[in-house]
Chains A and B, each alone.
Chain A
Amino acid sequence: MLAAPWVCRSCVRSLRRVGFPHQFLRRASTDSFKLPPALLDRARFLTAEHDQLTAQLADNFDEKIAKRAGEVHRIADAFKKFEHAKASLVELEGLLKSDDPEMREMAQEDLAATNEQLAESSRNLSVALTPKHPFADMPCLIEIVPGPGGTEGRFFADSVFKMYQAYCANKGFRTKVVQYLAADSTGEKGGDGEIALQEAVLEVMEEGAYAHFRGEAGMHRVQRVPATEKSGRTHTSAVAVWVLPSFSENATASDSDWDNPESDFYIDPAEVKSEKMRASGAGGQHVNKTESAIRLTHIPTGITVSMQDSRSQHTNRADAWRLLRSRIAQKRREAREDAARALRSSVLSSAQLTRGDKIRTYNYGQDRCTDHRAGLDVHNLPDVLRGGDTLGKVIDAVHGWLTEKDIQALLADEEAAAAAANTPAKGKKGK
Chain B
Amino acid sequence: MPRLPPSLFWTARKQISPFAPLLLPVCRTLDSTANELRWIKEHVNSTPSPVPRKLRIWQDCLKRGERGMPLQYILGTQPFGPLEILCRPGVLIPRPETESIITHLTTLLPPTPTLKILDLCTGTGCIPLLLSSLLPPTTKAQTTGIDISPLAISLSRQNLLHNISLSHLPPSTSQQQQITFTQSDIFSPLFLPSLPYSPGELDILVSNPPYISPHGFNTTTERSVRLFEPKLALVPDAASLSWSKGYSCRPEDVFYARLLEIAGVLQPKRVLFEVGDLDQAARVAEMVVRGGGEGEGGGGGGGERELKAYAGTVEIWRDDPDVESEGEKESVWVDGGKVRVGVKGRGNGRGVYFWRKDQ
Residues of chain A having any CB pair with chain B under 8 Å: 274, 276, 278, 282-292, 308-315
The answer to whether B348 touches A283, judged by C-beta atoms less than 8 angstroms apart, is yes
The answer to whether B276 touches A314, judged by C-beta atoms less than 8 angstroms apart, is no
B225 is contacted by which of A276, A286, A313, A315 (Cβ under 8 Å)?
A286
The answer to whether A274 touches B323, judged by C-beta atoms less than 8 angstroms apart, is yes
Identify the closest chain A residue to B101 (Cβ): A284
The answer to whether A283 touches B319, judged by C-beta atoms less than 8 angstroms apart, is yes
A283 is contacted by which of B72, B212, B350 (Cβ under 8 Å)?
B350
Shortest Cβ distance from B189 into chain A, in angstroms?
A: 27
The answer to whether B222 touches A276, judged by C-beta atoms less than 8 angstroms apart, is no
Q: List 23 interface pairs A-B (beta carbons < 8 Å), by A numbering.
A: A276-B320, A282-B220, A282-B277, A283-B95, A283-B319, A283-B350, A284-B98, A284-B211, A285-B221, A285-B234, A286-B222, A287-B221, A288-B95, A288-B224, A290-B36, A292-B96, A309-B35, A310-B79, A311-B78, A311-B79, A312-B79, A314-B81, A315-B79
The answer to whether B79 touches A313, judged by C-beta atoms less than 8 angstroms apart, is yes
- Residue-wise, chain B 60-102 has the 8 Å CB interface mask toward A (1 for contact) of 0000000000111001001101100000000011011111000
Q: Which of chain B's residues have a CB closer than 8 A to the CB of A292?
A: 79, 96
The answer to whether B211 touches A285, judged by C-beta atoms less than 8 angstroms apart, is yes
Shortest Cβ distance from B256 into chain A, in angstroms?
A: 14
- Does chain A have a CB within 8 A of B330? no
Identify the closest chain B residue to A289 (Cβ): B96
The answer to whether A313 touches B96, judged by C-beta atoms less than 8 angstroms apart, is yes
Identify the closest chain A residue to B208 (Cβ): A285
Shortest Cβ distance from B151 into chain A, in angstroms?
A: 17
The answer to whether B96 touches A286, judged by C-beta atoms less than 8 angstroms apart, is no
With A286-B221, A286-B225, A288-B72: A276-B96 Cβ-Cβ less than 8 Å: yes
Shortest Cβ distance from A296 into chain B, in angstroms?
A: 12
- Provide the bound-state CA to CA distance between A309 and B70, in Å: 19
- Provide the bound-state CA to CA distance between A123 and B221, in Å: 81
- Does chain A have a CB within 8 A of B274? yes
- Residue-wise, chain B 257-277 has the 8 Å CB interface mask toward A (1 for contact) of 000000000000000001011
- 8 A Cβ contacts from B106-159 to A: none
With A288-B229, A290-B35: A313-B95 Cβ-Cβ less than 8 Å: no
The answer to whether B96 touches A285, judged by C-beta atoms less than 8 angstroms apart, is no
Q: State the 8 A-B residue pairs at the shortest beta-carbon distance, nearest first.
A: A312-B79, A287-B222, A288-B70, A286-B221, A290-B71, A288-B225, A288-B224, A284-B97
Q: Which of chain B's residues have a CB closer than 8 A to the CB of A291?
A: 32
- Residue-wise, chain B 211-226 has the 8 Å CB interface mask toward A (1 for contact) of 1100010001110110
Shortest Cβ distance from B343 into chain A, in angstroms?
A: 16
Shortest Cβ distance from B79 into chain A, in angstroms?
A: 3
Identify the closest chain B residue to A291 (Cβ): B32
Residues of chain B having any CB pair with chain A under 8 Å: 27, 31-32, 35-36, 39, 70-72, 75, 78-79, 81-82, 92-93, 95-99, 210-212, 216, 220-222, 224-225, 229, 233-234, 274, 276-277, 319-320, 323, 347-348, 350
B32 is contacted by which of A283, A286, A290 (Cβ under 8 Å)?
A290
The answer to whether A285 touches B225, judged by C-beta atoms less than 8 angstroms apart, is yes
Q: Which of chain B's residues have a CB closer than 8 A to the CB of A274?
A: 323
Q: Which of chain A's residues have a CB closer than 8 A to the CB of B36?
A: 290
Q: Which of chain A's residues have a CB closer than 8 A to the CB of B224?
A: 288
Q: Which of chain A's residues have a CB closer than 8 A to the CB of B216?
A: 286
Q: Which of B72, B97, B211, B220 is packed against the most chain A CB atoms within 10 Å?
A: B97
- Provide the bound-state CA to CA distance between A315 and B210, in Å: 29
With A276-B320, A291-B32, A311-B39: A286-B71 Cβ-Cβ less than 8 Å: no
Q: Which of chain A's residues have a CB closer than 8 A to the CB of B350?
A: 283-284
- Provide the bound-state CA to CA distance between A316 and B242, in Å: 46
The answer to whether A284 touches B32, judged by C-beta atoms less than 8 angstroms apart, is no
Taking A284-B97, A308-B31, A312-B79 as known contacts, 10 extra A-B pairs with beta carbons closer than 8 A to each other, sorted by chain A number, are A278-B319, A282-B277, A283-B347, A283-B350, A284-B277, A286-B222, A290-B71, A292-B79, A308-B35, A314-B82
Q: Which of chain B's residues have a CB closer than 8 A to the CB of A276?
A: 96, 320
The answer to whether B222 touches A288, judged by C-beta atoms less than 8 angstroms apart, is yes
Shortest Cβ distance from B117 into chain A, in angstroms?
A: 21
- Provide the bound-state CA to CA distance between A290 and B233, in Å: 19
- Provide the bound-state CA to CA distance between A188 and B96, in Å: 75
Shortest Cβ distance from B133 into chain A, in angstroms?
A: 11
With A291-B32, A308-B35: A282-B319 Cβ-Cβ less than 8 Å: no
Q: Which of chain B's residues have a CB closer than 8 A to the CB of A308?
A: 31, 35
Q: Which of chain B's residues have a CB closer than 8 A to the CB of A309?
A: 35
With A311-B79, A313-B79: A288-B93 Cβ-Cβ less than 8 Å: yes
Shortest Cβ distance from A285 into chain B, in angstroms?
A: 5
Q: Which of chain A's residues have a CB closer than 8 A to the CB of B277?
A: 282, 284
B210 is contacted by which of A285, A290, A310 (Cβ under 8 Å)?
A285
Shortest Cβ distance from B32 into chain A, in angstroms?
A: 6
Q: Which of chain B's residues have a CB closer than 8 A to the CB of A313?
A: 79, 96, 99
Shortest Cβ distance from B321 into chain A, in angstroms?
A: 13
Q: Which of chain A's residues have a CB closer than 8 A to the CB of B93?
A: 288
Identify the closest chain B residue to A318 (Cβ): B82
Q: Which of B79, B98, B212, B234 is packed against the most chain A CB atoms within 10 Å?
A: B79
The answer to whether B35 touches A287, judged by C-beta atoms less than 8 angstroms apart, is no
- Provide the bound-state CA to CA distance between A391 and B106, in Å: 66
Identify the closest chain A residue to B93 (Cβ): A288
Q: Which of chain A's residues have a CB closer than 8 A to the CB of B276?
A: 282, 284-286
- Provide the bound-state CA to CA distance between A283 and B212, in Å: 11
The answer to whether B220 touches A286, judged by C-beta atoms less than 8 angstroms apart, is yes
Q: Which of chain A's residues have a CB closer than 8 A to the CB of B82?
A: 314
With A287-B225, A288-B225, A290-B32: A282-B96 Cβ-Cβ less than 8 Å: no
The answer to whether B212 touches A278, judged by C-beta atoms less than 8 angstroms apart, is no
- Provide the bound-state CA to CA distance between A70 and B224, in Å: 69
Q: Which of chain B's residues have a CB closer than 8 A to the CB of A287?
A: 221-222, 225
The answer to whether B79 touches A314, judged by C-beta atoms less than 8 angstroms apart, is yes
Q: Which of chain A's residues have a CB closer than 8 A to the CB of B35?
A: 290, 308-309
- Provide the bound-state CA to CA distance between A274 and B71, in Å: 26
Identify the closest chain B residue to A274 (Cβ): B323
- Provide the bound-state CA to CA distance between A284 and B319, in Å: 9
- Provide the bound-state CA to CA distance between A283 and B31, in Å: 20
Identify the closest chain A residue to B96 (Cβ): A313
Identify the closest chain A residue to B98 (Cβ): A284
Shortest Cβ distance from A387 into chain B, in angstroms?
A: 59
- Provide the bound-state CA to CA distance between A282 and B277, in Å: 8
Identify the closest chain A residue to B99 (Cβ): A313
